Amino acid sequence: MVVSTFYCAVRWHVEIHRLIVVRKEGLLDTPKEAVPMSISWLCPQFFLLGLMEGLAQDGLDEFMSYHFPEWTGEHVAAISRFLIGIGSFLNIFCINANKTFFG
């Protein structure tokens, strides 16, 4: 949870910097133009996103191996990936159903 909070703070900082660059370069009304910003600004947030994803996967594996019957032990990784896939699918469905909130 701490990593996700830190990730959101880093993402917010990068977006503020991107908006400053967009305003400075006068690119507000030109969505097709590329923003002159280094890709290295995105590295910390994607590192934290990968760390967060790995911690969530490990936590889900531990939770499932503790709460599921012992005979499902060899299938825990597959079941947890299946659950994450279902969550991703439902997330896409919810975003498409509520497009007015997301632009």
* Secondary structure of residue 42 in the 3-state scheme: coil
Residue-number span of the structural domain to which 66 is assigned = 2-102
* Residue 31 tokens, joined: 């969505």
* Residue 88 CB-density burial (10 A; 0-12 exposed, 13-18 middle, 19+ buried): exposed
Query: What pLDDT is attached to residue 102?
Result: 66
| Domain count along the chain | 1
**CA angle 6-9-14, nearest 5°?**
125
pLDDT of residue 43: 92
Query: pTM (2 decimals)?
Result: 0.65
- Beta carbons of 27 and 41 less than 8 angstroms apart: no
Q: What is the pLDDT of residues 15-25, one digit of tens each?
A: 999 889 999 98
Q: How confident is the model at residue 3 (pLDDT cuts 50, 70, 90)?
A: confident
AA letter at 18: R
